[in-house]
Amino acid sequence: MHVPYVTTFVVSEQAEKLSPLLMETLQEKLEAMGANCVSLHWLEPGRACDIYHGEMPPQPALRALDAQLQIECDRVSQSTQHRQKKLLVSDMDSTMIHQECIDELADYMGIKPKVAAITERAMNGELEFKAALRERVGLLKGLPKTALQEVYTSRITAMEGAQMLVRTMKKHGAYGLLVSGGFTFFTQRVRMMLGFDEDQSNQLLWDGDALSGKVAEPILDKESKLQSLLAACAKLEIDTQQAMAVGDGANDLPMLQAAGLGVAYRAKPVVQAAASAAITHGDLSALLYVQGYAKDQWVCG
């Protein structure tokens, strides 16, 4: 029998485990929504489980299902077609790494609260991204070149599961593109650290050995991220349904909405509300379960 949809339930390693009884209960609830459930398949006992079904319940019903879960659990519903993606396009700051690099540079100068407040409003979609970036870069004028390496070495840390996600997808034939409204100095290094194939971002401009307070034009923004995804699909000769995009801020929304699976990862509320999927409890390795990869298919380290 053809099974066109799957709902994946994932809990973090720290959370209460998924029990067979809970999964059977969730299967019954999906059936009550008219989902015509067919089978249940464990990707990792206690942690990740698929329920295959013949119909996709409407989003309000699925959100009601989320509300009935009594444990911290991420839930993603999608078509089974093109489930394992051939392209990963991801934001960097607060997605593949824990930090916002521009805020860390500001902290080095002792002005983090001022810059971070602008960053927060921009990521919430309250400010136009290009103007907000120019304003923040202007505040960094005079920062020495040496500070960038010091900040990267001492402060930048990979998000849990990031390397496993990128390297597992690459092992299975996917292409990894890191696309950021941040800066090339950092995206180049994070690309190599995590195993992405390519990075695209903004270029800081210098006045001798210090930042000039300006960024090269044109600025990579939300529309640029969307175009990067579309160009990568064309290059790989794949449909956008075969792409997964991941991000946390409002400037990620166009690419999240264009991808076959757009994931709001620990994202701002406006992004969670508009994306097709959200991960709020687990780490990035949850996106391997979401694609149907069992634990023994992962590339660790």
Catalytic residues: 91, 93
Q: What is the DSSP string of the chain?
A: ----EEEEEE--TTSPPPPHHHHHHHHHHHHHTT--EEEEEEEETTTEEEEEESS---HHHHHHHHHH--S--EEEEEESTT-S-SEEEE--BTTTBSS-HHHHHHHHHT-HHHHHHHHHHHHTTSS-HHHHHHHHHHHTTT-BHHHHHHHHHHH--BPTTHHHHHHHHHHTT-EEEEEEEEEHHHHHHHHHHHT-SEEEEE-EEEETTEEEEEEPSSPP-HHHHHHHHHHHHHHHT--GGGEEEEESSGGGHHHHHHSSEEEEES--HHHHHHSSEEESSS-TTHHHHHTT--GGG----
